[in-house]
Chains A and B, each alone.
Chain A
Amino acid sequence: MADFQPATETAPLLRVEHLRVSYQSFESAAVPALRDIDLTIAPGEMVGLVGESGAGKTTLARSIMGLVPRPGRIDSGRIEFRGQVMAELPDEERRAILGRHLAMVIPNPRSELNPVLTVGQQISNVVRAHSKLGAAEARQTALRMLEAVRIPDPGRRLNAYPHELSGGMAQRVVIAVALACEPSFVISDDATSGLDVTVQAQVLELLQDMVRSRGASALFITRDIAITAHFCDRIAIIYAGEIVEIADTAAFFDRPAHPYSIMLLAAFSHSGDLRRRWTRTEIAVNGSAAGCAFAPRCVRRQPRCEAEHPALRTTHSGHAVRCHFPVEG
């Protein structure tokens, strides 16, 4: 391919172009999960991806890794990571990148960690899969990583099984696994959703520290828009498989433009009035396929919204919104 380039300082680390993924089904037509996603992430950049359950967040994360969950299929578009198209890589090469350059922090570590292997074994397994380290050295790395994620008594935890850990501790282990090989890109998929609020803040801060201090990039997937505000450089809002708004964090919180973004923000606001103003109680049942996906729930719906699908338009520099009638000011 002509556009193959080695990753350089200026080239984006991750480039997603016109990505369409759908879930195939025997009974009915394929269900689109991602519709025309464009997203680039520069080296060292942290991007928040916010949306509700079923918006396609996890599908996007899995597609980037080249592991589209069955029965999903990439219909069109391309995903480049470090200048390579993940989906086109042979199995072995993809495995060499996953966990090494592109690491995932998962949301339910207690069911996703292997129940019959100790924490130390699981970290060393990943380290050894991606380096030439021997068993003893890999174990040393594992111990260092447990220290780095501030697990108390790391020497003892090395021999603990996942079921012996608390939720917060297991989440720290997963972060240790993800960062053990010094990846350049970390995807955090709703990583703290299962934790208590107080622990959540600690773990998030830890994750941010570890990513920043290593100069890595991150895609920070979450349902909680508030937590992105603190440490993401940019924020993308995803709704029904489409990015509906994307902007620098400051600009986004300053001037959110999409009604859905405002609805999300209002949901976390203390003002009940604001919430009521932006949340539609009666949701139109059948939105038209041709129109805006959010129209049925939109408080600013107009006839045009149901007739014509809005394109992602740049309003200000670096601020794009997919809406016919974006909120001004």
Chain B
Amino acid sequence: MGLVRYIGRRLLFVAPQLLGIIMVSFFLVKLIPGDPAVLMMGPNASQQALDELREKLGLTLPLPQQFLHYIVNVVHGDLGTSWQTTRPVLDDLMDRFPATLELVTLALLVALLIGIPLGIVAAGRSRGPIRKLADVYGLLAGAIPDFWLALVFIYIFYSTLHIAPAPLGRLDLEVVAPPIVTGSMLLDSLIAGDFDALWSSASHLMLPVMTLGLVNAGPILKMTQSTVERTLSSDFIRYAEMCGLPKRTVMRQAVRASLPSIITIVSVLYGFLIGGAVLVEIVFSWGGAGQYAVQGVLNADLNPVLGFVLFSAVFSLVVYLFVDLLYFVLDPRTRG
């Protein structure tokens, strides 16, 4: 019962949150210097043609009015058109967002599989080889830029060993993409029973997922380690020690108590990676949403940028809602 009310109350705030996010990003984006009309028409366009185009794009209206127009359109499901692709932004994003989501989700899974076990084990000991490994790993993962690691992997696995396919998109050129169901190339290939596509997409995912996963395991490792360490020195763990509970039980209790903090960092990282994966997307010509947004910023193509922000915001809000539900399950104190 409390849960339903809780979700209802959370959803009530989604609309104003989104409105706020759109507003801030709209005006920030408008602050970027650059005239879309000039970029669209090229340097040789006449003043008159430019004026007409500006008029047509609604750029001559005062900013608040432009914002109002945008909001009304968004409510009607129209995110505007990108002048670079000449397609509706909604369609573009529907193509590209799943590509980024698949990449980022798999990378996060890899990061979790490395960071959490290593962090937990390292937290339980103050020296020893595993602790050393965790310390060095945390440092390296924090210091190595992901795009550089991506280039190294391409050099090793593609150029030298010829294990990985060329870093050009999500599929081999000769492989036909499976019909879109989920947007995830792996799942769609499975659904279509197309094992060529499955193999091809998996091998294309390998390097970028490894790159992002290895780099982002760093913060997860560090966060897990420090949270579990802090929990291990907390009052109730000390009490568990005094009660003579077996070491395994004590460790399990410590990990269990650390979960909310770990989940928090993971959820923040998830939302961040949607845009943060852009350099890796560029290196692998992934055609993802981050790449799309960056092109928009560079070319004063504002609708893709705003559309991307909106998509990411919705995604983050969904993740955070899910995380709040997890807290609800994990911590009896939040159930009130």
Contact = CB atoms under 8 A, between A and B. Distances in A.
B243 A99 contact: yes
Given A67-B241, A106-B239, A108-B235, A114 B253 contact: yes
Contacts of A161: 332-333
B240 interface: yes
A298 B187 CA distance: 81
Contacts of B245: 95, 99, 125-126, 129
Contacts of A117: 253
A126 B250 CA distance: 11
Q: How large is the interface on A (under 10, 10 to 19, 20 to 34, 35 or more residues)?
A: 20 to 34
Contacts of B249: 125, 129
Interface string B229-240: 000000110111
A163 B243 contact: no
Contacts of B243: 98-99, 103-104, 125-126, 129, 177
A248 B253 CA distance: 42
B2 to A, nearest CB: 14
B8 to A, nearest CB: 24
Nearest to B241: A67
A163 B333 contact: yes
Contacts of B235: 108, 111-112
Nearest to B239: A112
B188 to A, nearest CB: 40
B239 to A, nearest CB: 4
Contacts of A115: 236, 257, 331-333
A100 interface: yes
Interface string A1-37: 0000000000000000000000000000000000000
A114 B257 contact: yes
A296 B133 CA distance: 52
- Sorted from nearest, which 9 A-B pairs have the closest CB atoms? A98-B244, A99-B244, A99-B243, A112-B239, A161-B332, A112-B235, A95-B244, A104-B242, A114-B236
16 contacts: A67-B238, A91-B247, A95-B247, A98-B243, A99-B244, A104-B239, A104-B242, A111-B235, A112-B235, A114-B240, A114-B253, A114-B257, A125-B245, A126-B244, A126-B245, A177-B243
